Structure 1
Amino acid sequence: MREESQLLASLADRAQQRSGDQVAADAYMLTMFLLDTGGRYSEVAGLRWSQVDLQAGTVSLYRSKVGNESLLRLPLRTLTALRHRQEAMRGAGYSYIFPKLTGGSWAGVDLPRGHATDAIQTQINRCGLNANPREDKVTPHTFRDTYAARLVQAGVSLLKVSNLLGHASVFMTQKYAHLCPEAAGAEAAAVLDRLHSLETPA
């Protein structure tokens, strides 16, 4: 959580310092969205406004890699940011949440941003998240692992996390199993305790 907060603060500062630079503003918003949905970069970068229900607070992510769709509830910080963004983009004629960029501005054409991750990767590196060459390199795709790991550590089952990530099989989610060795046992004990409390003595 400390690294996430540090990165988001760094991205927010850069967006504030470079007022009017849409690249910096989009880098902050896109990073938050990736961290809060566990979406793949390509899925989020190509999102259309029609895939978001700001009233219900949900987003429908199409998982092109596995050919399925996930309906996710958005955390409050991302939902609030999206509502502000929609208001700011009103009348601009973009169907994409993250339109194509040219220079420091939106390109003026209704196309998605594509694979423009340099601004995010630069801030990841500036925050020192890749300072240790013996550790795996942190990239925007790493945010997907961050999302999954946080949920598993909080006790969300691997099956549920698998569904949220849009995995074709729960076996793809097994790499997070080591993060929750006690979670299943604790959940089972809690269920049994509730059932036992309902039993009437003989």
Structure 2
Amino acid sequence: MQEEDRLILESFKDELTYGRGLSPLTVKAYLTQMTDFAAAGGSFVKGFDISQMREYLMKRASTGMSPGSIARMVSCFHTFSRWLVETGRSEIDHSELLKAPRVPRRLPGFLGVSEVKSVLNAYDTSTTKGLRNRAVVELLYGAGLRAAEAASLLLKNTSIASGTVRVMGKGRRERIVPVPGGTVEYLGKWIQKRNEYISGDDPGTLFISVRGRKLDPRDIRRIVSAGVDGAARAAGATPHTFRHSFATHLLNGGADIRTVQELLGHAGIGTTQIYTHLTTEKLKGVYMKTHPRGKK
């Protein structure tokens, strides 16, 4: 990569990290693509135009890359090209005519209430590690947190007294989420045991490893995987599955979609509306089984 291109990419990284407050994983995804683009012969200074971008995307598509991955690449080019214009590095947004392939929107998977309970009961809470792990999954389901949000949640932002957590979400959007009594119970038990894992400086996060370090999203995924079995394993349950289950169960219970949007920390209602499809399918199933005109 040319030095001028490298400096531009460093500035773009700063914009994504500090200007837009994107998560480290999102920033890494943007930089990985743009670095790969440069390695394939692309330049951010000379000849950065739609023909270069299309050539790069066609090469990636020819390797069998999915439409979803190509669509994310197109989105990355849009963000980068607009940033070049905003910062005076380009007079034209060369990505303007670049179109992403249509990607079928898949409905998120979720677990039934009994399946969630089965996973929660899988952890041996007589041990400190088992207690921590159950508290993690309790929070994923009880508050609908993303894995990264649960990993970075600060101890000082966890209020057992009020039953709330203050969460820093995507785009550095902060929200306060109520936590149900059962979840509060396990959070409180974990906090009482938490100091057993502190061996040096306290990282300040609610959840820590046995060596006292901050957990990362991969640790959260491993914790979930350790408790998943039976139907939940067959459903491919992940940390996000519990977030989906949180939203779906709220809507099934009569919560309005705006409330669910706020609890999930979605910037727009459109992202939340996908969960209404899940509840609609459930209602349709009940109708077909019970209504005289629904029976064959």
Q: TM-score range by the shorter chain?
A: 0.7 to 0.9
Amino acid across the alignment from 1:147:
F
With normalisation by structure 1, the TM-score equals 0.72
Cα shift readout 1:180-201 (whole Å, capped 9, x = no counterpart): 69x9xxxxxxxxxxxxxxxxxx
- The structure with the largest strand share of the pair is 1
Aligned length: 164
Stretch of structure 1 that moved more, 153-162 or 65-74: 65-74
Distance change (3 Å), C-alpha of 1:4 and 1:39: same
Structure 2 match to 1:50: 156
Q: Does 1:118 align with 2:118?
A: no
**Partners of 2:162 and 2:114 in 1: CA distance:** 30
Unaligned segments of structure 2, at least 5 residues? 1-112, 284-296
Higher relative contact order (CA 8 A, sep 6+): 1
- Give how far 1:28 is off: 1.4
Structure 1 match to 2:115: 3
Distance change (3 Å), C-alpha of 1:159 and 1:129: same
- The structure with the largest helix share of the pair is 2
Q: Does 1:174 align with 2:273?
A: yes
**Partners of 2:249 and 2:117 in 1: CA distance:** 14
Q: Which runs of 4+ in 1 moved over 4 A?
A: 90-93
Does the residue aligned with 2:175 lie in a helix, a strand or coil?
strand
Structure 1 match to 2:75: none
Does the 8 Å contact 1:66/1:167 carry over to 2? no
**Partners of 2:243 and 2:190 in 1: CA distance:** 23
- Give how far 1:44 is off: 0.7
**Partners of 2:135 and 2:155 in 1: CA distance:** 15
- Give how far 1:25 is off: 3.0
- Give how far 1:90 is off: 4.9
- Give how far 1:26 is off: 2.3
**Partners of 1:26 and 1:140 in 2: CA distance:** 15
Structure 2 match to 1:96: 205
Higher gyration radius (CA): 2
**Partners of 1:147 and 1:39 in 2: CA distance:** 9
Does the 8 Å contact 2:131/2:186 carry over to 1? no
1:27-46 alignment, distance < 5 Å: 27-46=133-152
**Partners of 1:154 and 1:175 in 2: CA distance:** 16
**Partners of 2:131 and 2:160 in 1: CA distance:** 20
Amino acid across the alignment from 2:232:
L
- Give how far 1:81 is off: 1.8
Does the 8 Å contact 2:144/2:246 carry over to 1? yes
1:1-202 alignment, distance < 5 Å: 1-11=113-123, 14-16=124-126, 19=127, 22=129, 24-63=130-169, 65-90=170-195, 92=198, 94=202, 95-99=204-208, 101=209, 106-108=210-212, 111-114=213-216, 115-116=218-219, 117-124=221-228, 126-131=229-234, 137-178=236-277, 179=279
Identity of paired residues, percent?
23
**Partners of 1:155 and 1:53 in 2: CA distance:** 26
Amino acid across the alignment from 1:112:
K
**Partners of 2:280 and 2:179 in 1: CA distance:** 24
**Partners of 1:98 and 1:58 in 2: CA distance:** 16
Does the residue aligned with 2:174 lie in a helix, a strand or coil?
strand
Unaligned segments of structure 1, at least 5 residues? 184-202
Distance change (3 Å), C-alpha of 1:55 and 1:151: same
**Partners of 1:46 and 1:67 in 2: CA distance:** 12
